Amino acid sequence: MTRPRTGIVGIGNMGLAMALNLIDRGFDISVRDIRPDAEAIAAAAGARIQRSPASMARTVDLMIVVVVDAGQVESVLFGDEGAAPHLSEGSAVMVCSTVSPEDMAGWAERLARHGVGFIDGPISGGPARARDGSMTLMQCGAEAFVLMARPVLEALASRVVAVGERIGDGTRAKLMNNLLAGIHLAAAAEAFALAEHLGLDTRTLLDITSSSSGQSWIQQDRMRRALDDDFAPRAECRILTKDLSIATDCAARAGFRTPLGDAALSQFRQACADGLSELDDAALLLSARTRLPKPSSES
């Protein structure tokens, strides 16, 4: 199968790892980011640097957008130097950012006017799995465009899950995943902060929960780092805060109550208010610690 010429806009923690993975596998990769240092790393690995989304659009068959939020996606596609008018008919855009399903559907409709396909393609797994191609990718879009992009999708992710053709459903699936992730992380931070308050050895507790009914993947990943005071950002706290907000808004529009999601979102917002927004979301443990009273000293 022919490998599409591929561009990635937004080479942060995830986008850069994806680009390096594809370069290692022999793909023709262009990149664009607002940060020269990220572009320099990609260039040293063999990527071609584009000065704008518009210039990239003229040279690629598949543009992958891995920016933070809907406003940034809008700018990449339809801003002053946006890609949309310059993409060739039959090319495709895949948006991996976690945004609202309605935004995804709107971009797909607008790009279709230019004869450009759209893949709703949220990703999960973190930078390490993006680097080695073992992510999960929730793919949603018209079969012809998905087929064109398939070599890239299969290089990026060991699990490419076809959610369907209705644009937005890939994002809906990702939002449900992140709703669970946020709830699990908020619960883990609370439990481990309480364990410390009660005088338990938290590493022993982690060994117990990792093989017991209280285990979850996000607990094992995040709490292991948090207990080592490692809060270097792999996934910034503000990002999961944003994702939880979108997920609970999605539920509210559907008339569905999410009391656990709302409680988790409240804890994430408090962590951001505590000045932890740019730390790894494992820093939720730091915020949870502040909610517990100091242990009384023994007389």
The pLDDT tens digits of the residues spanning 110-129 come to 999 999 999 999 999 989 99
What is the four-CA torsion angle of 249, 251, 255, 256, rounded to 10 degrees? -140
Q: From the candidates 131, 172, 174, 222, which is the catalytic residue?
A: 174
pLDDT at 257 > cutoff 60: yes
Sequence spans of domains, the chain: 6-166, 172-289
In this prediction, residues 22-28 reach a mean pLDDT of 97
Fold match between 6-166 and 172-289? no
Domain at 172-289: CATH code: 1.10.1040.10
Q: What is the pLDDT of residue 299?
A: 40
Q: What is the pLDDT of residue 100?
A: 96
Compute the C-alpha angle 93/56/20, nearest 5°: 80
In this prediction, residues 82-101 reach a mean pLDDT of 97
> CATH number for the 6-166 domain, one of 3.30.2310.20, 2.60.40.1180, 3.50.50.60, 3.40.50.720?
3.40.50.720
In this prediction, residues 40-52 reach a mean pLDDT of 98
Q: What is the pLDDT of residue 94?
A: 98
Q: What is the pLDDT of residue 292?
A: 77
Residue 10 zone, left/alpha/beta (φ > 0; ψ -120 to 50; rest): left
In this prediction, residues 16-29 reach a mean pLDDT of 98
Q: What is the pLDDT of residue 291?
A: 84
pLDDT at 91 > cutoff 60: yes
Contact by Cβ (8 Å): 158, 152: no
Q: What is the pLDDT of residue 1?
A: 65
pLDDT at 59 > cutoff 90: yes
pLDDT at 153 > cutoff 70: yes
Q: What is the pLDDT of residue 231?
A: 97
pLDDT at 295 > cutoff 80: no
Higher pLDDT, residue 126 or 74: 74
If you average pLDDT over every residue of the chain, what do you get? 95
Q: What is the pLDDT of residue 46?
A: 97
The pLDDT tens digits of the residues spanning 222-240 come to 999 999 999 999 889 999 9
Query: What percent of the chain stands above pLDDT 90?
Result: 94
- The yes-or-no answer on residue 294 being catalytic is no
